[in-house]
């Protein structure tokens, strides 16, 4: 295999857009030392979300147990110094369980989120009451029975793998503290302050600040947005001075999107504007410019890139105090607001936009704390010693 002699970091991922961003950061930190193994892909031409640039190679295969591939994968694992799992799904588990020599490598778990919040022991704490009882009560009851009977074998296998990670690669410590609380990682596991989307990748440096009266509600058609609870929370507020409540539902569960679109109209009337169709990025960015308020009713870390972008644009962002992202942003000095304490009927300025000085201060902190330079520095500081 051409690059194996130079490769020191072996990345295992699937055809997800996050890989493009990871390649940029890792290549800046460790030029020509990265090899990306894309699980579940026929070949490069079958990739929908990943675009490989010149200077990097990839081994793509359909099935990690395929006879003519197994020896190649063994070579890659044997030659690597560091193994990076981007997320943790069925194909990652299959590789881990098939090649025991992985346990001799420095193992970096680069967090996607679903591998944590898909676990029963964690997932049950991510939904607000109305959302839970409307959509999730019976599925959770079934899962509780399966968990009691020891039938959640895939989840057990995932937790076993997470326990072996030497590094947890995620932006902020507050989220790692949550993993320790649920005993998902070993005590000696270290954090690499890594994000797939540093400010340099998601932010237009000279973008104007928001200028409009609209509210952005949520980021996708997923249960963890807790839309129903957000609707009834908003209904208690004075909405006379705002424009539209814009709700992105064009990504995720389409059936759920239709139900939420109907419920939003019922609760909020004509002020509710569900986005159900695809929008070009430029059009979406223009829409964000009209939203001086953003309400993200996630109990879990989610849509981190979106939230950082909104803060950079000058939006007044409301997050739940149950969301670890809220506490991270507070810690680094970002002016962010709590749904539980600040978005209340008694707060007459709940929908007042940030002042220009507050917008500028938030923007400068985003650029300082979540820059590409910081991400590269973190990678080098933690992994150089192993290469």
Per-residue H/E/C for 279-309: CCHHHHHHHHCCEEEEEECCCCCCCHHHHHH
DSSP letter string, 347-362: -TTTTPPPPHHHHHHH
Structure tokens at 66: 């395929």
Return the H-helix or E-strand segment holding 199.
helix 199-202
Handedness of CA 316, 321, 327, 330 (dihedral sign): positive
Structure tokens at 103: 């346990």
Structure tokens at 382: 């933690």
d(CA 131, CA 224): 8
Strands (DSSP E) along the chain, which ranges?
A: 9-13, 34-39, 58-61, 82-86, 106-110, 167-169, 190-192, 214-217, 245-248, 272-275, 291-296, 316-319, 337-338
Low-confidence ranges of the chain (pLDDT < 70): 1-5, 43-44, 52-69
Return the H-helix or E-strand segment holding 258.
helix 254-268
Burial 229-257 (b: 16+ CB within 10 A, else e): bbbebbeeeebeebbbbbbbbbebeeebb
For residue 129, the tally of other CB atoms under 10 A from its CB is: 11
Structure tokens at 243: 């424009």
365 to 40, 194, 330: CA distances (angstroms)? 39, 17, 11
Instruction: Assign residue 79 a region (left: φ > 0; alpha: ψ between -120 and 50; beta: otherwise).
Output: alpha
Query: What is residue 62's predicted lDDT score, i.e. its pLDDT?
Result: 45
Task: Tell me which residue of 66, 82, 80, 98 sits closest to 5, measured CA to CA.
Answer: 80
Distance of CA 352 to the CA centre of its chain: 28
d(CA 36, CA 84): 9
Q: Taking the model in full, what pTM does it have?
A: 0.90
Rg over alpha carbons for the chain, rounded to the nearest Å, is 22
d(CA 57, CA 275): 38
């Amino acid at each position: 295999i051409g690059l194996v002699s130079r490769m020191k970091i072996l990345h295992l991922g699937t055809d997800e857009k996050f890989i493009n961003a990871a390649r940029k950061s890792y290549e800046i930190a460790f030029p020509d030392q990265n090899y990306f193994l894309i699980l579940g892909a026929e070949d490069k031409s079958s990739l929908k979300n990943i675009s490989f640039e010149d200077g990097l190679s990839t081994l793509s295969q359909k099935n990690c147990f395929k006879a003519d591939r197994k020896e190649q994968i063994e070579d890659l694992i044997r030659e690597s110094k560091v193994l990076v799992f981007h997320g943790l799904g069925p194909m990652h588990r299959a590789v881990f369980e098939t090649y025991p020599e992985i346990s001799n490598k420095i193992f970096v778990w680069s967090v996607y989120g679903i591998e944590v919040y898909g676990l029963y022991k964690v997932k049950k704490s991510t939904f607000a009451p109305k959302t839970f009882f409307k959509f999730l009560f019976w599925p959770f009851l079934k899962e509780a029975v399966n968990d009691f009977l020891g039938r959640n074998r895939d989840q057990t296998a995932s937790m076993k793998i997470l326990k072996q990670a030497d590094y947890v690669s995620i932006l902020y410590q507050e989220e790692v503290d949550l993993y320790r609380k649920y005993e998902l990682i070993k005590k000696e596991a270290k954090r690499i302050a890594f994000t797939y989307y540093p400010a340099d990748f998601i932010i237009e440096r000279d973008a104007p600040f928001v200028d409009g009266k609209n509210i952005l509600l949520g980021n996708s058609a997923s249960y963890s947005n807790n839309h129903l609870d957000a609707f009834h929370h908003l209904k208690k507020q004075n909405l006379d001075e705002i424009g539209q409540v814009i709700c992105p539902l064009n990504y995720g569960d389409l059936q759920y999107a239709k139900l939420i679109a109907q419920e939003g109209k019922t609760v909020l009337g004509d002020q509710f504007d569900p986005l159900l169709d695809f929008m070009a990025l430029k059009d979406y960015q223009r829409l964000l410019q009209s939203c001086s308020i953003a309400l993200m009713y996630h109990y879990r870390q989610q849509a981190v890139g979106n939230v950082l972008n909104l803060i950079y644009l000058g939006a007044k962002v409301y997050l739940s105090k149950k969301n670890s992202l809220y506490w991270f942003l507070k810690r680094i000095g970002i002016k962010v607001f709590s749904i539980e304490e600040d978005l209340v009927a008694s707060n007459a300025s709940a929908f007042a936009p940030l002042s220009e000085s507050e917008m500028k201060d938030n923007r400068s902190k985003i650029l300082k704390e979540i820059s590409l330079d910081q991400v590269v520095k973190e990678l080098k500081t933690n992994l150089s010693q192993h290469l």
